[in-house]
Structure formats: structure tokens, C-alpha cells
Structure 1
Amino acid sequence: MRQPAILAAAALALAACASDAPPQAPLARAEQAIRSAEGVGAAQAAPLPLRIAQERLAAARSADDEARSRRLADEAVASAELAQAQAQAARSQQSLADLRRSAAGQSEATTRPGSPQ
């Protein structure tokens, strides 16, 4: 009877420790989010939110207070995710425009007099 209680207490203690992320984890998440945004072309398609993310990450690294560092890192993640979404949207818009041009070209080719139908 006593052993299950000890195991339960140990499990709760481990869970409590696991929920408190180490200080470097928010910074690592922000760095990864920025790399992901850069990887999809955010530097060209969404430079402002990408720059804000980079600035927030730099501020998080130099913050004296851990809570402030976490908040700034979270803001960096949010800005990087916005930059990534804007870059992906720009890429999708470009693909759509390319498809429309291609479809318009094919439509013209099939409606010309003397073209095989």
C-alpha cells in the first residue's frame, strides 16, 4: 500500500518539474521559428515581421529577468510564425497567378480559328 503512494508522489514530482521549461527552451523555439520563416523566403516576402522576430529574440537573450526573456521569446515566435505565414501566402498567390496565366494561354490556343479541337 505504501509503495503505490510513493510512486504516485514521485510521478507528481516529476510532472511538476517537467512542466517548468528550462530558460533556454523558449529561446530555442524562437530560433527555430525564425529559421523556419527564413527557409520559406520570409526575408523577401515578409521582412517586417521577420525583423521584429529577430529583434525580440535579441532582446530575450539580453533580458535580465527570466519572465521577461520568456515573454520576448514568445513574441519572437509569434512574429516569426506570422512572417512564415505571409511568405507562404505570397508563394501561394504567385502559384495561383502562374496557373491562371497558364490556363489563359491554353484557352487562347483552343479558341483560335484553325486550331485543332
Structure 2
Amino acid sequence: MADDVSQRASRLSRLWSELAMRHVALGSSCGCGAGGVSLQLVDFELDIVEYLEDQGLRSGVVEVEKFFRARPTSEATGLPLQTLLEDLERDEFPAEASEWVLTRLERTLKSFAELHGRRQQGES
């Protein structure tokens, strides 16, 4: 189980690193700064972790609630999503909490990849 958690977290960490610097299209202009405000997905890192924490604290799953009470996002500094993924890679959390967090992060980051992320073959 530990290898599975570690491998999944490692894949997500690589995906997030790839996605984090991508620009987000805002309205009718591109987020790259041409006619609009420049935002990157990394600007939403804290929002992602805060959303996870909020859902976790209301999940009704004891291990998940304990996990987020012990690790409040409000005290996070730096890159909270990257730090969370690195801690998951080291398999530092109870299995139930790790599985809950990984499942939601996989869904979230795959959605970002579909919407903003990976270039298709043939794109420049």
C-alpha cells in the first residue's frame, strides 16, 4: 500500500509541476498578459488545498478529519499543495487519509490537465 500511495503522489507531484506554470485564460483574453490579467495555475494552489481541507473537515471520515485538524491550511506557508504531495510521497499519513486526499487530488489535477494543461501532440 505504501508504494502505491508514494507512486500516486509522485505522479501527481510531477503533473502539478508541469501544470503549475501554465497560464489560465480569463474571459475573452489569454492569461498570458495580452489584453488581460496574467494568472498561472500555481496562483490557485492555496485555493485547492483550502477546498480539500474544507471538504475533509466535513467528510464524516474520522481519520480524514483528524488529518486536516492536525495540518491546518491557514498555517501553510510556501507551496502548500506541493508540500502536501511531497509528504504523501513519503507516506507519512494514515492510509485512510492518504487515500481520501489522493483520490480528490487525482480528480482535481486531471481536470486541470484537461482544461489547461498538457499540450496535444502536434501543438507548438
Bin of the TM-score, shorter chain as denominator length:
0.3 to 0.5
* Greater gyration radius: 1
- Larger RCO, structure (CA 8 Å, separation 6 or more): 2
TM-score by length of 1: 0.40
- Between Structure 1 and Structure 2, the one with more helix by share is 1
